[in-house]
Amino acid sequence: MKIFLYKIFFIIIFLVNENILIAKTSNKILLKVENEIITNYEVKDKILRTLYLTNQEINQYNINKLKKRSLDSIVQLKIKKIELLKYNLNLDQIQLTNYLNRISNNDILGFQENFIKNKLSYDLFLDEVKTELKWKKLIYEIYSKKISFNEDSVNDELEEIIKNNKKIEEVNISEIEIMVNQKSDKTSIIEIQNDIKEIGFENAALKYSISPSASQKGNLGWLNVKTLSNQIYDVIYKMQPGEISEPIKKQNSILFLKINDRRASETNKLNVSELRKNLLNQRKNELFNLYSQSHISKLKNSILIEYR
């Protein structure tokens, strides 16, 4: 029966024993996603890895908070792996190295050694990273025509910005984007807002965000305010550096924004090439997130997930 039984089984498995994830690990199979299995070892490692990467204390309270989200994340990862098997996609090694350098502060070897010291599986982490990079490549290939758009419109927009502004206002901004449904909106918002206060916006982005910017702790860099959508512009217009927005509801997601800094520069000092690049990337990332989640939703409806 093609329904998400894991939600029911999750409650049975994880709430029977509150200490299951800090006890001695056995490799018991919890769920089966088609031919892909999920073990309690994977779930435990995912939880502890998230706590490690976001600099949170490893205690039962923090573990409990991550149980459901970690299991959901692994189920989605398995669905992506199943779909990727249908395609002959090569991993971009340069892209992989760049990602690992970013997250490790250019110390990949030291980063890997810290996994070993903390008794975490670097192999599981690396497999997840490779899967996500391949998935991004797949989505771009499948939806390339829809993700691509008329670049002349971007050029026209740039001309308007240059023409109508004596000074260019820019913001350095970070984001957290999450996928939600009506039933979980309120709970997800409260949970993320609490974590932003406890562990900081950047770590919360690494922990929760589905945006490609998550690997950079949500940072989008410097953006011209005129390149932002009207909805986003209206939110950040009066925000000051350090402020975090109220949740912004989009079509299939909720967005949190943080203003890191603001600046104004003369139009003749504007780096038009950089501005055009940022504008194109922003538009493409918005479309990528939309089609990626849409594709996952379609796959979920056709994949059997069963308790073992």
Domains of the chain: 6-142 (1.10.4030), 151-297 (3.10.50.40)
Q: Across the chain, what does the average pLDDT equal?
A: 81
User: 66-80, 120-134, 175-189, 223-237: which range is least confident on average?
Assistant: 175-189
- The model's confidence at residue 8, banded by pLDDT at 50, 70 and 90, is very low
Other CB atoms within 10 A of residue 251 CB: 8
pLDDT of residue 14: 46
Crossing angle (nearest 10°) for helices 108-117 and 122-142 = 130
Average pLDDT for 207-219: 83
**Tokens of residue 243, six digits:** 């402020």
70 to 10, 43, 99, 116, 283: CA distances (angstroms): 11, 6, 21, 21, 29
Beta pairing class for 167-179 and 36-39: unpaired
Indicate yes or no: pTM above 0.95: no
Residue 248, Cβ density class (10 Å: 0-12 exposed, 13-18 middle, ≥19 buried): middle
Q: How far apart (Å, rounded) are the C-alpha atoms in residues 102 and 105?
A: 5
Residue 130, Cβ density class (10 Å: 0-12 exposed, 13-18 middle, ≥19 buried): middle
Average pLDDT for 250-265: 86
User: 40-54, 105-119, 166-180: which range is least confident on average?
Assistant: 166-180
Residues 6 or more apart in contact with residue 91 via CB below 8 angstroms = 130, 133, 134
Indicate whether 272 pLDDT > 60. Answer: yes
258 to 168, 186, 195: CA distances (angstroms): 20, 20, 14
98 to 60, 103, 108: CA distances (angstroms): 34, 9, 10
Q: How far apart (Å, rounded) are the C-alpha atoms in residues 155 and 150?
A: 9
End-to-end CA distance of the chain: 14
pLDDT of residue 97: 92
- The secondary structure of the chain as a DSSP string is --SBTHHHHHHHHHHH-TTTTTS-----EEEEETTEEEEHHHHHHHHHHHHHHTT---SHHHHHHHHHHHHHHHHHHHHHHHHHTTS-----HHHHHHHHHHHTTS-HHHHHHHHHHTT--HHHHHHHHHHHHHHHHHHHHHTHHHH---HHHHHHHHHHHHHH-SEEEEEEEEEEEEE--TTTHHHHHHHHHHHHHHH-HHHHHHHH--SGGGGGTTEEEEEEGGGS-HHHHHHHTT--TT-BPPPEE-SSEEEEEEEEEEEEEEGGG--HHHHHHHHHHHHHHHHHHHHHHHHHHHHHTT--EEE-
Q: How far apart (Å, rounded) are the C-alpha atoms in residues 281 and 116?
A: 36
**Tokens of residue 86, six digits:** 């249908």
Indicate whether 151 pLDDT > 70. Answer: no
- The model's confidence at residue 293, banded by pLDDT at 50, 70 and 90, is confident
**Tokens of residue 278, six digits:** 């940022």
Contact call for residues 156 and 276 (beta carbons, < 8 A)? no
Indicate whether 241 pLDDT > 90. Answer: yes
